[in-house]
Structure 1
Amino acid sequence: MTAATIERFSPAAVDEDGQVDWRVLLEQAMTMPGHLGDTYCRFYQYSLQNQILLWSQGVTEPCAPFSVWKALGRIPVKGGGRAVLHPRPIRKTDEESGEKVVVAMRFRLKRSTFPYSNTVGPEVDWPELPEWDAQRALAALDIVQVPYASIDGNCQGYSFARNVAVSPVAKYPLKTFFHELGHVMLGHTTDSAEGESPCSRGVAEFQAEAAAYLLAHNLELSEWAPAESRAYIQHWLGDEQVTEAHIRAVFTAVDKILRAGRTVADADVDEEAGEAIAS
C-alpha cells in the first residue's frame, strides 16, 4: 500500500503495518458523510409500456435519446432510432376561466430513442489492477460474467445464480463488478441454506456495497467515488439491523474474492491477513 493510499483513510483504519482494518473502514462507510452523484439518474426511466414496446423491437440494452448520448460522449447512428410512445395532450378552453386545460391524452410513436449498440464513441474503460485479475477471480470462484441485457441505463449491473453482468455504460464498472461479485459470494443470488433465513433487500444491498467498498480500498481502485458508495450503503441500511453475522459474512466474501484474483504468492499473504481478521 502506498503512502498516498494510506492518506485516504482515517488513521484508525490503518494498523502499524500499513494494513487496512476492515472493521474500522466499514464503520466509517456506515457513519461518514456520503453523497449520491448522478450515477443512478443519468438515463430517462421509460414506462413499462415503452419498455415492452422496446423489447418487441428486439432491444435488450440501455436506450436514450440523442441529447443524453451526446452528453455521455456518444453519438447515435443515423437511422438507428427505436420507436417509443410520446404523450400528446388534447386541450380545450375552459368556459369559466378561459384557460386551456388538458381533457385527454393521446400517444404517438416516434423513433426518438437509440440503443447503446446504435451509438458510437469511447467504450467503458475497465481499470487494470496490477495485483488482482478479474478473469482469474471469476474462474477461481466459478462465476460467469454474462452480457448485460436490460433497457435500464441507470442500473449499473445485476447478478443471478452464479452470473454477473455489468452495464456497458456503467459509470464505475469495476466497482460495480465488485458489488455484483459480493451478491453472489454472500449467497444473495441462490436459495438460502436449509434453516437459514434470507436477509432483507436492505441488508443484502448493504452487504454487497460494503464488500465493494472494502475491495476498492484494498486494491487501491482510483476510478470510483467512495462518498457515493457510503451514501448507497447508508441509504439501503436505513433502519435495518446489521448483526455481527452479517458483517463477518462481508469480511469472508471480501477475503475470498481478493484471494481468487491474486497471484499465488499474494493469495498466501491475503489468507494470513484474512485469518488474522477473523480471529
Structure 2
Amino acid sequence: MSEHFNPHWECLLEEASTSPGRSRLFPHWNRQRPMVEPEGWSKQRALAALAIREVPFFGDPRSAYGVSGGQEFGINPKAPRPFHTLIHELGHICLGHTFVRHDEDITEDIGLKEFGADGVAYIFMHDLGVEEQMDVPHTQLLMRRRLAGRTPTENLKHRIYEATETIIEAGRLKAMV
C-alpha cells in the first residue's frame, strides 16, 4: 500500500457506500458554489504533474456536471460544486476509465466506475478538509445506488485509494526549505 494511505480512508469508503444518504429533487442546481482549492493543494500543479488538460465542457449540460475522455476533462459551468466535480473527473482519469487498454476488464460497469470516481472525490474531500465543497449525504446516496447492492472488491477499493493518493500528491504544494 502507498505511503500516503490513511487507514481512515477505508472507514470513509465503507461509510459512504453503506449510509442511507439523502435524496433531493435537483435543488442543488440553483445553489452553485465557487471552486476553492484546499490549503496546501493546487489544481494547476496537479494537472501539470498528471499531464491532464482542462477543456471546455463537452457533455450534455442538462444531465452531467463533468465529463472526461483520455487525459482531458470539462466541468459544466452550471455544476453546483465544481471542485467536487473536478476531483470526480480526475478520479475517472486516474482510475483509467477514460482509456481502453488491451488488457482491460471491460466488464466493469458504469455503476462501479461512477462509484470509483465518487470514492476518490469523497476520500479526497475528507482527507483535505473540504467536505463543505461536497453534498455529503447526496454523495453517499449516489454511491450506495451505484453499487446496486454489491460490495466493492478489495481490488476496486485499493485502486480508489491509489488514485486518491495520486491526485493528492500531484497537487500538494511542497514546503519551502
Does the pair score TM above 0.5?
Answer: yes
Q: Which runs of 5+ in 1 are unaligned?
A: 1-18, 43-71, 74-122, 267-279
Alpha carbons of 1:252 and 1:151: their partners in 2 closer, same or farther (altered >3 Å)?
closer
Residue 186 in structure 1 maps to residue 95 in structure 2:
yes
Counting matched residue pairs gives 169
CA distance in 2, matches of 1:33, 1:22: 19
State the Cα distance separating 1:255 from its structure 2 match.
Answer: 0.4
CA distance in 2, matches of 1:20, 1:233: 20
Which one of 71, 87, 92 corresponds to residue 162 of structure 1?
Answer: 71
State the Cα distance separating 1:241 from its structure 2 match.
Answer: 4.6
Alignment match, 2:142: 232
1:1-80 superposed matches below 5 A: 21-39=8-26, 42=29, 72=30
Q: Secondary structure at the match of 2:68?
A: strand
| 2:21 partner letter | G
Alpha carbons of 1:151 and 1:184: their partners in 2 closer, same or farther (altered >3 Å)?
closer
Please, what TM-score do these two structures have when normalized by structure 1? 0.56
Q: Which runs of 5+ in 2 are unaligned?
A: 1-5
State the Cα distance separating 1:202 from its structure 2 match.
Answer: 1.1
CA distance in 2, matches of 1:157, 1:40: 18
Q: Secondary structure at the match of 1:165?
A: strand
| 1:165 partner letter | G
Please, what TM-score do these two structures have when normalized by structure 2? 0.86
Alignment match, 1:220: 129
Alpha carbons of 1:256 and 1:129: their partners in 2 closer, same or farther (altered >3 Å)?
same
Alpha carbons of 1:246 and 1:139: their partners in 2 closer, same or farther (altered >3 Å)?
same
State the Cα distance separating 1:265 from its structure 2 match.
Answer: 4.2
Which one of 133, 146, 170 corresponds to residue 42 of structure 2?
Answer: 133
Instruction: Kindly indicate which of the two structures has a greater share of residues assigned to helix.
Output: 2
Alpha carbons of 1:230 and 1:162: their partners in 2 closer, same or farther (altered >3 Å)?
same
8 Å contact from structure 1 (residues 127, 174) kept in 2:
yes
Alpha carbons of 1:165 and 1:38: their partners in 2 closer, same or farther (altered >3 Å)?
farther
CA RMSD of aligned residues (A): 2.2
Instruction: Kindly indicate which of the two structures has a greater share of residues assigned to strand.
Output: 1
Alpha carbons of 1:265 and 1:192: their partners in 2 closer, same or farther (altered >3 Å)?
farther
| 1:252 partner letter | E
Higher relative contact order (CA 8 A, sep 6+): 2
8 Å contact from structure 2 (residues 20, 144) kept in 1:
no
| 1:35 partner letter | R
8 Å contact from structure 2 (residues 16, 140) kept in 1:
yes
| 1:223 partner letter | Q
Identify the range of structure 1 (196-205 vs 257-266) with the bigger mean alpha-carbon deviation: 257-266
CA distance in 1, matches of 2:175, 2:23: 38
8 Å contact from structure 2 (residues 53, 72) kept in 1:
yes
Alignment match, 1:211: 120
Which one of 237, 240, 252 corresponds to residue 162 of structure 2?
Answer: 252
| 2:40 partner letter | E
Mark the structure with the bigger radius of gyration.
1
